[in-house]
C-alpha cells in the first residue's frame, strides 16, 4: 500500500522544525483562470497549520495510487508556492501551465487526491515593526504574494504591491484598468495592499523602473522589500535596493528531492572566501538579496 | 508458512533484507528523515565523500527531467571526509540499520586515505565510487579502466577491514571485465549501474540543458540496460552483485534479482516516493510468500535463457 495513503508523517525539514509532511490531499477547488493559469485548493491540514508565506509544496502530479508505477513524464515532483491559506485547512496554489506537470495538475477535479510534501523551504521573514512593506512581483511571481500581503497587513505594515508583467495575460489575476488612475488587481488589493500594476505592452514600463522611481518616497527607517519573479527582475532590484532597503528575494531552480539532500537546486551565495552554494529548496527559496552572488547566478 | 528469509551478506555486513538506498540520492540521510522508515531497509548508502570538501558543478541546472528519466550533473558536491565523519555520520547511524559510506578521489591514495579514516567508524561497509560521470578527474576515469579500477580496489582493501563494494559505471565496453578485476583485487561486492553519460539540448538556445553540458542519466529509461549489465556481471563474478537502475517497484527489483543481483538499491524513485524502498521491500516479501519461495537467495540469478 502506498505510503501516500498513510497519515501525514512529520519529517525534519521546513522552518522551525515543523514538517515537512507528506500527505494525500484532496482537491477541494479547481478553477481555470484567464490565459494559461489555474487555481487549485487542497485540503492539507498539517501543511495549512504551519505554512509560512513563501514556502512551497512539492507535488506528485499523477494519481497517488499510481506512485508505484514509473511514469514516462513528470517523473519528478513539481514545486509550487503556497499562494495563500484558505481556512480552516485549505492550501491554495496558483499555477501557470507550462508543461506536462502543470497540465496534469490543471486537469484535476474536485474530489481528486494529490500526493503532496510540504511545507518546504524557508519563507519570507517578517517582523512586527515594518512600517512600509514594498512587495515587488513579476509575472507568475505573483503566486506567493497573497499570503505574504495577508501576513504583512496583519502585522500592521502599510503594504505596497508593485507588480508587473509583459502582458496582462502573464499573471494569475484579473487586471482592472479604471478610466482614470492606475491599473490594479482587485483580488490582491482586497487583501490589504495598495496595488500598482504595469504591463510592458500597455503601460510600456518595467516594474523595476517604477520601483527605482518610488524608492525615495519610502521612510528611511522601517521599510522592507520582498520580491518574487524572473531572475533579471530580481537582479535589477538587488542593485536598486542595495544600501537603501533590506530586500528578500524568492528564487527558483530545478529540483529533484525538494528536501535539501540531492544538491540539485543550488545558487551561489557570498561568503568570506569567495562563493558557496545554498539550496533553493531548503535554505531558500527566500534569500536575503545581499547574500546572493548575483554575478555568478545564471540568468 | 513462516516469513520468507530475505537476509543477504556482503562480506561481513549482514543485511536483514536486500533493499538499499543508492548513493547520492538522499544525501547523508538527514533531510529525508521522517518521510519513511529507512531503518527497515537493509542498508543506506550515503552521498559520496572525498577527502577534501567539493563545491560541485557551477550553478545553473544540475538536474533536468528527460523522457522516463533525469539527467544529473551535481559534480560530487560534498562536505569532505572530516566533516562527514564528525557531523553527518553520527546522525545517519541512528537509523539503526547498516550505513555504507561511499568514497571517491582523484588519486588512488585518496581512496585509501578515506577508507583508512572510515575504518574506525561505525560504517558497515565502504562503497568505492569509481563511476561518477560528473567530475573531470577521478570518478569514472578509474571505472572505465579495469587495471585502474583494480588498483583502487586493492588500495582500499589494504586500508580497511570493512567490506568493500566497487560501484561500476555502465559507460564501458566490457563491464564484466571491470567487475572481475575489482573482485580479484579484493572487493567483497560490486554494485551497478551508476548513471549513463548523457546530454539534453535546448533547441531554442542550442545549448545543453545541464549547466555542466553533459551528465548522468537515471530513471526508468535505463532499467533494461541496467538489468542486462547486472546479468552480465553476475555471470562473471562470485561475489554478490548489488543491482540498481530505477527500481521503482517490487517487480523492478525482482527483475534485477532474477538477473543475478543479491541485493538492490533504490535511487531516483525516492524523489517521487520517499517511501519507495519500503514499498519495494514489502512487495518483494509479498512475491516470495505468494510464490512459496522460502529464501530470497533461491531466486537470485534464476533467469532461464
Ligand atoms: C520554489 C518554487 C516555487 C514555484 N512556485 C510556482 C507557482 O506558485 N506557480 C507556478 O506556476 N510555478 C511555480 N514554480 C515553477 C514551477 O515549478 C514550474 O513551472 C513547473 O515545475 C513546471 O513543470 P511542468 O511539468 O509543467 O513544465 P516542464 O517545462 O515540462 O518541466 C520540465 C522540468 O523542469 C522543471 N521546471 C520547469 N520550470 C521550472 C521552474 N521555473 N522552476 C523549477 N523547475 C522548473 C520541472 O519541475 C520539470 O522537472 C515554482 C518553482 C519553484 C522552484
Ligand atoms: C542526483 C543524483 C546524485 C547521485 N550521486 C551519486 C553519488 O554521489 N555517488 C554514486 O555512487 N552514485 C550517485 N548517483 C547514482 C545513483 O546512486 C544510481 O547509481 C543511479 O542513479 C541509478 O539508479 P536509479 O536509476 O535508481 O537512480 C546519483 C544519482 C542521482 C540521480
Ligand atoms: S532539490 Fe534536492 S537539494 Fe534542492
Residue A189: exposure state from Cβ atoms within 10 A (0-12, 13-18, ≥19): middle
pLDDT score of A9 more than 80: no
Residues A238 and A155 in one domain: yes
A58 near A120, Cβ under 8 Å?
A: yes
Complex confidence, ipTM = 0.93
Distance from CA of A125 to the nearest CA of B (A): 22
pLDDT of the residue at A218: 85
The grid cell for B298 is 533461491
Cα(A293) to centroid(ligand 1), Å: 23
Strand, helix or coil at B5? strand
Cα(A188) to centroid(ligand 3), Å: 31
Residues A56 and A16 in one domain: yes
How many Cβ atoms sit within 10 Å of the Cβ of residue B118? 23
A248 near A288, Cβ under 8 Å?
A: yes
Q: Who among A73, A255, A297 is closest to B59 (CB)?
A: A297
Nearest-angstrom CA–CA distance, B264 and B21: 8
Q: What is the pLDDT along chain B (305 residues), one digit of tens a residue?
A: 688 999 999 999 999 999 999 999 999 999 999 999 999 999 999 999 999 999 999 889 999 999 999 999 999 999 999 999 999 999 999 999 999 999 999 999 999 999 999 999 999 999 999 987 777 666 678 888 899 999 999 999 999 999 999 999 999 999 999 999 999 999 999 999 999 999 999 999 999 999 999 999 999 999 999 999 999 999 999 999 999 999 999 999 999 999 999 999 999 999 999 999 999 999 999 999 999 999 999 999 999 98
User: Do the chains contact at A266 and B270, CB–CB below 8 Å?
Assistant: no
Pocket of ligand 3 (CB under 6 A): A 255-258, 260-265, 279, 281
Which residues in chain B have their CB less than 8 angstroms from residue A253's CB?
A: 61
The grid cell for B235 is 555471470
User: Do the chains contact at B62 and A257, CB–CB below 8 Å?
Assistant: no
Boundary (domain end) residue, out of A120, A148, A176: A120
pLDDT of the residue at A217: 85
Residues A178 and A154 in one domain: yes
Whether A183 is in a domain gets the answer: yes
The string of DSSP letters for chain A reads: --GGGSPPEE-S-SGGG---EEEEEEEEEEEE-STTEEEEEEE-HHHHTT--TT-EEEEE-S-GGGTTS--SS--S-EEEE--EEETTTEEEEEEE--SHHHHHHHT--TT-EEEEEEEESB-----TT-SEEEEEEEGGGGTTHHHHHHHHHHTT-EEEEEEEESSGGGSSS--B--SSS--B-HHHHTTTEEEEEEETTTT---HHHHHHHHGGGS-SSSEEEEEES-HHHHHHHHHHHTTTS-EEEE-----SSSSSSS--SEEEEEETTEEEEEETTTT-BEEEGGGB-TTTS--
Residues A168 and A151 in one domain: yes
Which residues in chain A have their CB less than 8 angstroms from residue B68's CB?
A: 70-73, 75
Q: Which range marks the domain in which residue A268 is found?
A: 253-299
Q: Who among B26, B70, B72 is closest to A75 (CB)?
A: B70
Whether A90 is in a domain gets the answer: yes
pLDDT tens by residue, A267-288? 999 988 777 999 999 999 999 9
pLDDT score of A5 more than 70: no
**Cα→Cα distances A59→A74, A83, B30, B128, Å:** 10, 14, 21, 34
Q: Any idea which ligand is nearest the CA of A250?
A: 1
Residues A116 and A174 in one domain: no
Residues A64 and A174 in one domain: no
User: Do the chains contact at B34 and A10, CB–CB below 8 Å?
Assistant: yes
Q: Who among B47, B61, B268 is closest to A254 (CB)?
A: B61
pLDDT of the residue at A182: 85
Q: Any idea which ligand is nearest the CA of A62?
A: 1
pLDDT of the residue at A12: 40
Residues A213 and A201 in one domain: yes
How many A/B residue pairs have CB atoms within 8 Å? 142
B257 near B296, Cβ under 8 Å?
A: yes
Which residues in chain A have their CB less than 8 angstroms from residue B28's CB?
A: 261
Whether A198 is in a domain gets the answer: yes
Nearest-angstrom CA–CA distance, B199 and B211: 11
The grid cell for B297 is 537467495
A138 near A164, Cβ under 8 Å?
A: yes
pLDDT of the residue at A69: 94
Dmax over CA atoms of chain A, in Å, equals 60
Ligand 1 nearest atom to the CA of residue A82, by list position:
8
**Cα→Cα distances A126→A21, A80, A161, A234, B187, Å:** 24, 21, 15, 19, 55
Handedness of CA A253, A258, A259, A261 (dihedral sign): negative
- CA contacts within 13 A on the Cβ side of A58: 30
B146 near B186, Cβ under 8 Å?
A: no
pLDDT of the residue at A17: 46
Residues A182 and A158 in one domain: yes
Distance from CA of B210 to the nearest CA of A (A): 10
Top pLDDT among A183 and A62 is at A62
Residues A107 and A186 in one domain: no
Closest of B19, B57, B60, B52 to residue B37, by C-alpha: B19
Closest of B155, B135, B142 to residue B54, by C-alpha: B135
Beta bridge partners of A43: A26, A90
Boundary (domain end) residue, out of A229, A250, A271: A250
Residue B72 near ligand 2, beta carbon < 6 Å: yes
Nearest-angstrom CA–CA distance, B80 and A177: 57
Whether A126 is in a domain gets the answer: no
The CATH number assigned to the domain holding A56 equals 2.40.30.10
Q: Please confirm, yes or no, whether B132 is among the known catalytic residues.
A: yes
A74 near A62, Cβ under 8 Å?
A: yes
pLDDT tens by residue, A195-205? 999 999 888 89
pLDDT of the residue at B115: 97
Nearest-angstrom CA–CA distance, A79 and A60: 9
Quick one: fold of B8-298? TIM Barrel (3.20.20)
How many structural domains compose chain A?
Answer: 3
Strand, helix or coil at B281? helix
If one residue of B192, B193, B218 were mutated to test the ligand 2 pocket, choosing by the most ligand atoms within 8 A of its CB, it would be: B218
Q: A179 CB contacts (<8 Å, ≥6 apart)?
A: none
Whether A125 is in a domain gets the answer: no
Residues A45 and A113 in one domain: yes
The grid cell for B16 is 536483514
pLDDT score of A16 more than 60: no
Query: In chain B, which residue's Cα lies nearest the Cα of A2?
Result: B279
Q: Among A63-67, A110-114, A174-178, which stretch is predicted with the lowest mean pLDDT?
A: A174-178
Boundary (domain end) residue, out of A120, A143, A165: A120
Whether A2 is in a domain gets the answer: no
User: Do the chains contact at B72 and A264, CB–CB below 8 Å?
Assistant: yes
User: Do the chains contact at B31 and A256, CB–CB below 8 Å?
Assistant: no
Residue A286: exposure state from Cβ atoms within 10 A (0-12, 13-18, ≥19): buried
The CATH number assigned to the domain holding A289 equals 2.10.240
Strand, helix or coil at B101? strand
pLDDT of the residue at A18: 64
Q: B80 CB contacts (<8 Å, ≥6 apart)?
A: B49, B50, B51, B52, B53, B54
B230 near B241, Cβ under 8 Å?
A: yes
Top pLDDT among A127 and B137 is at A127
Closest of B217, B299, B219, B199 to residue B259, by C-alpha: B299
What average pLDDT is seen over chain A?
Answer: 91
- % pLDDT > 70, chain A: 94
The CATH number assigned to the domain holding A226 equals 3.40.50.80
Residues A84 and A174 in one domain: no
Q: How sure is the predictor about A145, in pLDDT bands with cuts at 50, 70 and 90?
A: very high
Residues A140 and A242 in one domain: yes
Q: What is the DSSP letter of B295?
A: B
Which entry of B73, B132, B164, B168 is annotated as an active-site residue? B132
Mutation for testing the B interface, residue in A10, A121, A261, A295 having most B CBs under 10 Å: A261
pLDDT score of A11 more than 50: no
Ligand 3 nearest atom to the CA of residue A254, by list position:
1
**Among protein residues, the one whose CA lies closest to atom 49 of ligand 1:** B65
The string of DSSP letters for B106-161 reads: SSHHHHHHHHHHHHTSS-SEEEEE---TT-SSSTHHHHT-HHHHHHHHHHHHHH-S
Q: What is the DSSP letter of B61?
A: -
Q: Who among B31, B60, B65 is closest to A257 (CB)?
A: B31
Amino acid at each position: 500500500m502506498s505510503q501516500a495513503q498513510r497519515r501525514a508523517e512529520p519529517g525534519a525539514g521546513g522552518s522551525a522544525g515543523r514538517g515537512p509532511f507528506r500527505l494525500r490531499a484532496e482537491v477541494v477547488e479547481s478553477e481555470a483562470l484567464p490565459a494559461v493559469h489555474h487555481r487549485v485548493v487542497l485540503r492539507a491540514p498539517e501543511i495549512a497549520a504551519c505554512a509560512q508565506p513563501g514556502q512551497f509544496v512539492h507535488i506528485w502530479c499523477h494519481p497517488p495510487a499510481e506512485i508505484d508505477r514509473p511514469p514516462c513524464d513528470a517523473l519528478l515532483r513539481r514545486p509550487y508556492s503556497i499562494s495563500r491559506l484558505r481556512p480552516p485547512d485549505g492550501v491554495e496554489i496558483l499555477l501557470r501551465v507550462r508543461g506536462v506537470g502543470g497540465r496534469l495538475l490543471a486537469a484535476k477535479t474536485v474530489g481528486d487526491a494529490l500526493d503532496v510534501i510540504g511545507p518546504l523551504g524557508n519563507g519570507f521573514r517578517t517582523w512586527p515593526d515594518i512600517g512600509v512593506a514594498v512587495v515587488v512581483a513579476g509575472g507568475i511571481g505573483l503566486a506567493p504574494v497573497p499570503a505574504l500581503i495577508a501576513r504583512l497587513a496583519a502585522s500592521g505594515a502599510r503594504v505596497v504591491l508593485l507588480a508587473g508583467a509583459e502582458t496582462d495575460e502573464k499573471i494569475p489575476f484579473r487586471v482592472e484598468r479604471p478610466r482614470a488612475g492606475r491599473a490594479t488587481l482587485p483580488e490582491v488589493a482586497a487583501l490589504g495592499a495598495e496595488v500598482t500594476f504595469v504591463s510592458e505592452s500597455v503601460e510600456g514600463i518595467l516594474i523595476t523602473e517604477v520601483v527605482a522611481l518610488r524608492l525615495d518616497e519610502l521612510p528611511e527607517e522601517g521599510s522592507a522589500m520582498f520580491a518574487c519573479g524572473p531572475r533579471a527582475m530580481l537582479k535589477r532590484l538587488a542593485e536598486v535596493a542595495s544600501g537603501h532597503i533590506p530586500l528578500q528575494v524568492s528564487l527558483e531552480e530545478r529540483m529533484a528531492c525538494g528536501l535539501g539532500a540531492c544538491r540539485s537546486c543550488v545558487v551561489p551565495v557570498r561568503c568570506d572566501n569567495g562563493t558557496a552554494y545554498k539550496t533553493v529548496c531548503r535554505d531558500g527559496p527566500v534569500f536575503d538579496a545581499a547574500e546572493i552572488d548575483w554575478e555568478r547566478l545564471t540568468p | 508458512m513462516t516469513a520468507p528469509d530475505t537476509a543477504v551478506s556482503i562480506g561481513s555486513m549482514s543485511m536483514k533484507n536486500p533493499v538499499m538506498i543508492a548513493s547520492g540520492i538522499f544525501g547523508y540521510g538527514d533531510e529525508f528523515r521522517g518521510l519513511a522508515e529507512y531503518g527497515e531497509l537493509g542498508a543506506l548508502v550515503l552521498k559520496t565523500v572525498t577527502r577534501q570538501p567539493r563545491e560541485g558543478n557551477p550553478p545553473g541546472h544540475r538536474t533536468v527531467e528527460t523522457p522516463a528519466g533525469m539527467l544529473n550533473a551535481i559534480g560530487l558536491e560534498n562536505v569532505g571526509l572530516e566533516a562527514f565523519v564528525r557531523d553527518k555520520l553520527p546522525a545517519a547511524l541512528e537509523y539503526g540499520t547498516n550505513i555504507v559510506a561511499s568514497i571517491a578521489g582523484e588519486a588512488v591514495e585518496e581512496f585509501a586515505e578515506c577508507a583508512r579514516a572510515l575504518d574506525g567508524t561505525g560504517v558497515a561497509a565502504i562503497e568505492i565510487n569509481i563511476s561518477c560521470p560528473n567530475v573531470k578527474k577521478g570518478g569514472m576515469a578509474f571505472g572505465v579502466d579495469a587495471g585502474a579500477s583494480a588498483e583502487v580496489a586493492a588500495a582500499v582493501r589494504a586500508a580497511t577491514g570493512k567490506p568493500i563494494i566497487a560501484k561500476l559505471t555502465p559507460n564501458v565496453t566490457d563491464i564484466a571485465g571491470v567487475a572481475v578485476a575489482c573482485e580479484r583485487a579484493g572487493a567483497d561486492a560490486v554494485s551497478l549501474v551508476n548513471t549513463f553519460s548523457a546530454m539534453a539540448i535546448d533547441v531554442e538556445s542550442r545549448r545543453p540543458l545541464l549547466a555542466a553540458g553533459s551528465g548522468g542519466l537515471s530513471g526508468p529509461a535505463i532499467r533494461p540496460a541496467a538489468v542486462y549489465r547486472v546479468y552480465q556481471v553476475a555471470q562473471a563474478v562470485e561475489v554478490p552483485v548489488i543491482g540498481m537502475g530505477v527500481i521503482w517497484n517490487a517487480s523492478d527489483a525482482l527483475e534485477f534479482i532474477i538477473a543475478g543481483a543479491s541485493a538492490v538499491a533504490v535511487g531516483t524513485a525516492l524523489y517521487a516516493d520517499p517511501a519507495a524502498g519500503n514499498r519495494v521491500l514489502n512487495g518483494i516479501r509479498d512475491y516470495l510468500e505468494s510464490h512459496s519461495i522460502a529464501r530470497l537467495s533461491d531466486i537470485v540469478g534464476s533467469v532461464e535463457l
